[in-house]
Amino acid sequence: MRDLTAGFGYLLKGQRWAGTHGRRFGFGLLPGLITLVLYAGALVGLGFGADNLVAWSTPFADGWSSPWLGLFRGSLTVLVFALGLFLAVITFTAVTLLIGSPFYDVLSEDVDREAGGEVPQSGLSFWHDLWISTRDSVRILVRVALYGVLLFALGFIPVIGQTVIPVLGFCVSGFFLAEELTAVALARREIQLKERLVLLRGRRMLALGFGVPLTLAFLVPFVAVFLMPGAVAGATMLVRELAPVEPSLDLPEPTPAAATRDASQTHPIMEG
C-alpha cells in the first residue's frame, strides 16, 4: 500500500510542478492538443461506424429473430467502441510523446535539474532518439493490443466480464501508461525497454498508483491534454526513485607530497 500511495503522490507532485511553471506548462500542452484533434476524429468515426462494422462481421446472425439480434449486435457494438476507447487511452500517451518528444525531453530535464544532482543525457541525435522511441512505442502497443484482445474476449463471461475484467483493464492501462511516461526520463538514463519493464514490474504497485488514476482521468474529454505536462514531470520524479543517478565526484588531483605519502604507506618494505 505504501508504493500505491507513493505512486499517486508523484502524480500530484508532477501536477503541482507544472502548475507552478506556467511557461513549461504551456510549452507541454501543444503535443497533447495536436493528438487530441487526431483522436477525436478517429473516435467520432468509430462511433458512427461501429454498428456497421459489427453487422458486417456477424453475417451468421442475420436470420436471428427479435430481440436477440438487436441485443447481440448492440452488445458487440458497445464492446467494439469500448475496445477503441481502451486503445485510445493507451496509445494517446505514446502518440503524444512521439509528437512532443523534444518538448517533453526539455521538461523532464528541467525537473531533474531542479531536483539537484546530475542531469542525465542520452547523447544521441534527435532522429536516433525518435527512432528508438517509435520502436519502443510499437513494441508496447503490440503488448497492449494482445492484452486488449484477451480482455475483450473475457468480457463475454457473465458477471466476471462486467466486474473483474474492467478493473483488470484499468490496471493494464495504468501500468503501460506509467511505462510510456517514465520512458522519457529512463531513456535519458540509457535504460532500454526490457530493463524499464523489469524496473516497473519490480515496483508494480508504484506504477499502478501513478498510472491507474491517470488512466481514469484521461477518460474525461480534454483532461489528458492538460494533465500531460504534469504527468511527464511526475514520471520524472518517480524515475528518480526507481533509478537514482549516482552523483559525480570530482576529486582533486593528489599533490606530489600526498602521492609520496600514500605510496610509502602501501610499499611492501614499509609494511614489513
pLDDT, tens digit, 9 for 90 and up, residues 88-116: 776 777 788 888 888 888 899 999 988 87
Contact between 227 and 177 under an 8 Å Cβ cutoff? The reply is no
Classify residue 21 by its DSSP letter: -
Quote the Cα angle for 142-144-150, to 5°: 105
Count of beta carbons in the 10 Å neighbourhood of residue 260: 11
Q: What is the mean pLDDT of residues 247-252?
A: 46
The DSSP letter of residue 221 is: T
> What is the model's pLDDT at position 244?
75
For residue 237, pLDDT over 60 is answered with: yes
Q: According to DSSP H, which parts of the chain are helical?
A: 2-19, 22-57, 68-99, 101-115, 126-154, 160-188, 193-202, 204-218, 223-242, 256-266, 268-271
Please determine, for residue 251, whether its predicted confidence score (pLDDT) is greater than 70: no
Write down the pLDDT at residue 245.
Answer: 65
Are 182 and 222 contacting, i.e. CB atoms less than 8 angstroms apart? no
Closest of 27, 17, 46 to residue 100, by C-alpha = 27
> Kindly report the CA angle at 93 between 111 and 243, in degrees rounded to 5?
40
The dihedral through the CA atoms of 138, 12, 33, 30 has a sign that is negative
Q: Measuring CA to CA, how many Å separate 39 from each of 68, 177, 268?
A: 33, 17, 73
Q: What's the pTM value of the predicted model, to 2 decimals?
A: 0.71
Give pairs for 199-205: CB < 8 Å, separation 24+. Answer: 199/242, 199/243, 200/175, 200/242, 203/3, 203/242, 204/3, 204/175, 205/1, 205/3, 205/4, 205/7
Which set of grid coordinates corresponds to residue 31?
Answer: 503535443
CA–CA gap between residue 84 and residue 49 (Å, rounded): 12
pLDDT of residue 232: 92
Alpha-carbon 258 to chain mean position = 51
- What rounded mean pLDDT belongs to the chain? 81
| 269: confidence class by pLDDT, cuts 50, 70, 90 | very low
Query: Distance between terminal CA atoms of the chain?
Result: 58
Q: What local confidence, expressed as pLDDT, does residue 43 receive? A: 84
Residue 147's pLDDT band, with cuts at 50, 70 and 90, is: confident
- Give the pLDDT confidence of 188-233 residue by residue, as tens digits: 888 888 899 998 998 999 999 999 999 888 877 678 889 989 999 9
